[in-house]
Amino acid sequence: MALFDERILEKEKPTSITAVPKGKIATTSLLFDEKEMDKQISHAKKKKNKPPEVKKSVADIIPIIDQTDSGLFQLKDDGGFFGIWQLQSTDINAMHDQEAGRNIYTLARTYQGDKDPFKIISLNLPVSTQKQQQYLEKKIREAPNALSLRFLRKKLKELQYLEWGRTNREYFLFLYGPTELAVKERKDQFMRDIQLAVPLLPVSDEKQINLLYKLYNQNAKLGNKQ
């Protein structure tokens, strides 16, 4: 008994098979790859011909023009002026609940009620012990005996280590305004509003410059860690 019909298989046989030369296939594929490669190279050259615009100097990047005689900083493109003051922080965990709540409410009311721009920045800055070191160096030069000299030198090394290895968390207030007078008036208003909770302290010109340098150079280190 036949398992299949031979006549059906004869009908289903392909009549003819057209063979494609191998050289033609390879040539077509090669030409296609070369065209794609040329397109990619030309596209890459177009990108290289338009490099991104690079600022010529730091002065083109930093928005500050100069420091005025009153200690404020002037911004370019009619951006106005701004000043820097330090906020004397307090430990609310060491206060009574009523006193801590009053200070928090005072700050919240001041921040919400001021519609003009301001900024509060906190930074870890190196501990400064220069005055103490100068005093100890003077005492070392005037030491009457070897015992006092050894004690003073030990204290001097401790201060040098603190300045090198320790930092303080400090808070700074940036106030902005269209004119110098507007910035000063805002500072006076802030002092009236938050002086009892967080006193405002003046910042020396040198410290302000170092602070701005740190803000525009995030990886820079200040003090003896430079």
114, 177: one domain? yes
**Domain co-membership, 143 together with 210:** no
Domain assignment of residue 32, yes or no: no
Q: Residue range 8-17: average pLDDT?
A: 52
Residues 186, 207: one domain? Answer: yes
Q: Considering only CA atoms, which of 170, 162, 166, 167 is closest in space to residue 211?
A: 170
Give the residue numbers spanning the domain of 98: 58-119+170-225
pLDDT in tens, 74-105: 998 888 999 999 998 887 788 888 888 888 88
114 and 211 in one domain?
yes
Could you tell me the pTM of the whole model?
A: 0.62
CB proximity list for 212: less than 8 A, separation 6 or greater: 64, 73
> Nearest Cα to 73, choosing from 172, 180, 186, 173?
180
Q: What is the mean pLDDT of residues 199-222?
A: 84
Task: Find the farthest-apart pair of alpha carbons in the chain and give their distance in angstroms, rounded.
Answer: 129
Contact of 164 with 127, CB cutoff 8 Å: no
Query: pLDDT by residue (tens digit) across 29-43?
Result: 444 456 666 676 666
How far from the centroid of its chain's Cα atoms is residue 169's Cα? Answer: 16
Residue 47 domain-assigned (yes or no): no
